[in-house]
Amino acid sequence: MKKKFPFHIIVFLFPACFIYSIFMIYPLIDTMRVSLYTQNLLGENMDDSSGVRAFIGFRNYYDLFFNDTWSWHFWNALKNNLYFFLLHVSIQTPIGLLIAAFLSNKELKLKNTYRTLIFLPAMMSIVIVGYIFNLILSNLWGIPQTILGVVGLEDLYQPWLGLKGSALITVSLISIWQFVGIPMMLFYAALLNIPEEILDAAKVDGSSGLNTFWKIKFPLILPTVGLMCVLTYVGNFNAFDLIYAIKNIYAGPEFSTDLMGTFFYRTFFGYQHQLGNPTMGATVASTTFGIILIGVMIYLFAFQKRITRYQY
Amino acid sequence: MKKLMSLFMTFVIVTFTALPIFAGTVIIESWRNDDADAWNDKIIPAFNAQHPDIEVVFQATIPAQYSASISAKLEGGNAGDLITLIPFDASLKLFNRGWLASLNDLGGLDNYPQVAKDAWSTDDQSDLFGVPMASVSHGFMYNKDIFKELGLSVPKTESEFFSVLEKIKSDGNYIPLAIGTADTWAISTMGFQNIGPNYWAGEKGRKGILTGDEKFTDDHYVSLFETLGKWSNYMADGYQAQTYPDSQNLFTLGDAAIYPTGSWEIFTFSQNADFEFSAFAPPTRDGQSNCFIDDHTDIGIGLNSKAKNPAEAKVFLEWLTGAEFAEIFANEVPGFFPLHSHSISVNDPVAKEFISWKDTCDTTIRNSYHIVGRGEPNLESVLYEVVSGVVNGTVTPAEAAERAEASLANWYEPHQ
């Protein structure tokens, strides 16, 4: 007997596919379409209410990568964003891992309290975090030089958020402080998943605590570490809110804290007296999408397949 | 649920009965909800005293949403008769799309200087689509108590200005200049555009940039950047991270002596500061005989091309060009000055000080708005960048001049 076509699968898949297509896939494709057009910003000789749009092929992309007006901002934002990501991976992930390792120690008291306290900032509104740090680091209203002097740190009395060389690092550290709880939670959960028998066996074999961690626990949670890196990568390249809250869309001083997100915002919506350029904004958005896509692909094909998974 | 429903019905009924809009009513669209009382209690009644047959309604939107909402309303054909306009390109766009009527034949336009009309005219000045309403002036506010305490007098020239700053600095109790560079627009607008007209000789220099006769690499622009660079010696510690609200607070708390600013602060400052303050005009350069101040066109008003009552609206617009409106507006909204050519009596002492400069000094507008404010990148945002860089000490004056010029050369023909 011929098998009946499984219509019920289509019926069940339809709502999710429909909503996903309308709200995710269609806007994504249309953004790419719009990025191939140009638009008269002053509204002269408008044919219709949406404004004249002329097809120009890949010229927006050419301008973005090679024309000085745009390319300086683009490469600057990309460079800053990579730096922002590297700082996160090299500081946030190890600290998260360290805290998780401490928390998974059975003898530790007040474990839940620490866990909650460390995770708390991640639940706070970014606007509040940005505002508080702006005040703490302000030379006018923040920690005064005299207090720093008591502990011999007068030299640290600097406008860290206002200096070109330190602003991006400062913003990154604020972001790391806020979100260090997320890798901590993931690693903690992964560490708890490791069966007791394995650890007991290691103990019986005479493995020291540090040795057990590096030789047994770490390899077992490596897939989680990889996953965390990808999540950080995607999150960092979509970052916008913290810079917006602390440094505004100008991402000062002199665009030294500019990320792809703030660059996109300025391009698409315009700012103060600069009219927004929707088609160029679409180009920036598509490029950002491409960058994230490439990064995730590299992870999926080059790393994830090679990470050994252990069954237990 | 029932309660919610009845609440909603009450809301609907109240809204519809509170605004009896009938034929013959002129509706003014505006973002200035701060001024609603001035319009409803003073300006409109004064107009009705002369024209009792025309009903005028002032309808304000939240400022941040104004541009978007007015475009949508004009496009949908349900905007009010009169549209309050921001200066230059955003409004020019509305006119180019045919949503604003040309006002060339309106009576009373001779009451305004040409520079005021530029903000709401096409580039070739063939069409005017907005009646200039108000401007804001730049200058320096100072704390009178601190000046008295330190025995300082108001500086007239630049060298006097810097010696005053030096004295405040050596006294050590107060911050000489309340301004920072974290908000780049603030240092650019309240520094560069504030003292700049004295360097580029007002309108002459502004037009020179438009025609390409003057370049930012010319000596007077470079020395302007140099002067601004010297300001940083007198700003608060960590000025690189000091925002515009920080500067406002420093001044109103009485911690800072001088605040480079604009007249729009008068209203809030007179409510927040518990000391006496006044203002002085941008100090002239040494050896300069005439003076120039920035009197920037800020608010205009245009006629919807699909207005329901164009004739009545025009009567109202003509009345706006007269002395009576100018007088009421200047006093009800201190710090925003009517753009009329004739002199106006104002009661607020600080506003009076600002207005008095216009008798002796020539006025101009910010040099980065008209025409050169529209390219990619526009001059205004480039200036934000280079001015803050110069004050931070990360950009030299010569580099700043070159970068500003290069950005214009990038898209603006007269500079290529």
Dihedral class, residue A62 (left if φ above 0, else alpha if ψ from -120 to 50, else beta):
alpha
For residue A146, pLDDT over 50 is answered with yes
pLDDT at residue A45 in the model: 44
A262 Cβ contact list (under 8 Å, min separation 6):
A77, A240, A243, A244, A249, A251
Q: Is A297 in the B-facing interface, judged by CB distances under 8 Å? A: no
Structure tokens, B9: 């019905």
Closest CA–CA distance from residue B378 to any residue of chain A (Å):
6
For residue A67, pLDDT over 90 is answered with no
Q: Which of A44, A139, A273 sits opposite B241 (nearest CB)?
A: A139
pLDDT at residue B18 in the model: 46
Fold for B15-134+298-347, please state it.
D-Maltodextrin-Binding Protein; domain 2 (3.40.190)
Q: Would you kindly state where each structural domain of chain B is located, as residue ranges?
A: 15-134+298-347, 137-294+366-415
B265 Cβ contact list (under 8 Å, min separation 6):
B141, B248, B259, B335
Dihedral class, residue A184 (left if φ above 0, else alpha if ψ from -120 to 50, else beta):
alpha
Residue of A nearest to B385 (CA): A254
pLDDT at residue A114 in the model: 93
Closest CA–CA distance from residue B292 to any residue of chain A (Å):
24
Closest CA–CA distance from residue A223 to any residue of chain B (Å):
41
- Rounded Cα gap, residues B39 and B365, in angstroms: 26
- Rounded Cα gap, residues B140 and B278, in angstroms: 8
Residue of B nearest to A73 (CA): B377
Pairwise CB contact (< 8 Å): A273 & B236? no
Return phi, psi of residue B411, to 5°: -140, -15
pLDDT at residue A257 in the model: 93
Residue-wise burial string across A5-40, b where 16 or more C-beta atoms lie within 10 A, e elsewhere = eeeeeeeeeeeeeeeeeeeeeeeeeebeebbbbbbe
- Do the domains B15-134+298-347 and B137-294+366-415 sit in the same CATH topology, yes or no? yes
Q: What is the pLDDT of residues A231-271, one digit of tens each?
A: 999 999 999 999 999 988 888 788 999 999 999 998 887 77
Closest CA–CA distance from residue B246 to any residue of chain A (Å):
8
Pick the closest to residue B260 from B317, B344, B203, B183 (CA basis).
B183
Q: What is the pLDDT of residues B176-202, one digit of tens each?
A: 999 999 888 899 999 999 999 999 999
Structure tokens, A59: 């010229």
User: Tokens 């996903």 appear where?
Assistant: A20
Task: Identify residue A237 by its one-letter amino acid code.
Answer: F
Residues in chain B closer than 8 A to A66 (CB atoms): none
Question: What's the pTM?
Answer: 0.80
Residues in chain A closer than 8 A to B388 (CB atoms): 252-254
- Rounded Cα gap, residues A258 and A144, in angstroms: 28
Pairwise CB contact (< 8 Å): A253 & B181? yes
Coil/strand/helix, residue B140:
strand
**Is A54-304 a domain of CATH 1.10.3720.10?**
yes
Coil/strand/helix, residue B343:
coil
Q: Is ipTM over 0.95?
A: no
Number of Cβ pairs closer than 8 Å across A and B? 111
pLDDT at residue B339 in the model: 87
Task: Identify residue B36 by its one-letter amino acid code.
Answer: A
A18 Cβ contact list (under 8 Å, min separation 6):
none
Return phi, psi of residue B406, to 5°: -65, -35
What is the end-to-end Cα distance of chain B in Å, rounded?
Answer: 68
Q: What is the pLDDT of residues A161-195, one digit of tens each?
A: 989 889 999 999 999 999 999 999 999 999 998 98
Q: What is the pLDDT of residues A70-129, one digit of tens each?
A: 899 999 999 999 999 999 999 999 999 999 999 988 888 898 999 999 999 999 999 999
Q: Which of B369, B385, B388 sits opposite A273 (nearest CB)?
A: B369
Residue of B nearest to A163 (CA): B240
Q: What is the pLDDT of residues A45-58, one digit of tens each?
A: 444 444 557 888 89
pLDDT at residue B85 in the model: 93
Q: Would you kindly state where each structural domain of chain A is located, as residue ranges?
A: 54-304
Residues in chain A closer than 8 A to B378 (CB atoms): 273-274
- Rounded Cα gap, residues B338 and B291, in angstroms: 21
Residue of B nearest to A40 (CA): B93
Q: What is the pLDDT of residues B12-71, one digit of tens each?
A: 555 544 444 444 789 999 988 778 888 999 999 999 999 988 999 999 887 766 877 788
- Rounded Cα gap, residues A17 and A27, in angstroms: 14
Residues of chain B with pLDDT under 50: 1, 16-23
Fold for B137-294+366-415, please state it.
D-Maltodextrin-Binding Protein; domain 2 (3.40.190)
pLDDT at residue B216 in the model: 94
